[in-house]
Structure 1
Amino acid sequence: MAERFEDLRAWKTARTLTNRVYALTKTKDFENDWALKDQIRRAAISVMSNISEGFESRTRPRFVDLLGRAKASAGEVRSQLFIAYDQGYPNEEEFSETSDLADKVSRQLYHLIRHLENHDGSEQVRELPAEYVSQ
């Protein structure tokens, strides 16, 4: 059972994604593109923040809503990565690794949302089984 948002696998993945985005945007070329750098960082931060805010709300409908927002922000990160890649900021490996993290957290959020929506209504939030990570 998840007792803190830090226990959620999706939040841990979102944290890794945010750190990866920050590292990627510190490169010389990317750093000079202020608008894109700021936007992709904000989107990555939003993934982490919405997961934690939803969990701390302690209400299932609010949690599900904020998880949906986190998922949308993960999609935003992926889209912005394509913009950055098209501009030649990250190399192919950096792009793939970061995009894969954004996709992973999106899938984790999808399964967590599904679990919460189909759960028996208990007020406790439980971490999902292993398939939640791999799908």
Structure 2
Amino acid sequence: MGGRAAWQAGPAAVAATPSAGLTAVACADGPSGQRVTELVRGRAGLLPRDATVRVRTGPLCAGDWHYTVLDVTGYEQLHVVTEGPSRSPRLVTAGTDVCTVEVRAAGPPAIRTLACDGDPAAGPGA
């Protein structure tokens, strides 16, 4: 082969995709940051209506799970994990520590990494 190495993808070579839950990526078809903020403000009542909120990270998607970090003026960052379709996501958990039993047991690997081990302020991806 004249000094060139041949590369051949075998059956074990599978690319990680967001749908496999191995990688968290910017949501192409997930909830918007505004939708996540509305969900936390509304049904969960975790944010005062007059709190100034800015999406710091995300939403990042892995499978049908989403991870978002919100900067809330006058409060600590709020980490939010949601699951489900973009129009009607379900709030899994929100707070300063979102590494809950449900996230650890049912969340995709990338969401577990972000919620339990990651530093989402450093940037997207898991």
> TM-score of the superposition, structure 1-length normalised?
0.27
Bigger proportion of residues as helix? 1
Q: Of the two, which has the highest radius of gyration?
A: 2
> TM-score of the superposition, structure 2-length normalised?
0.28
Higher relative contact order (CA 8 A, sep 6+): 1
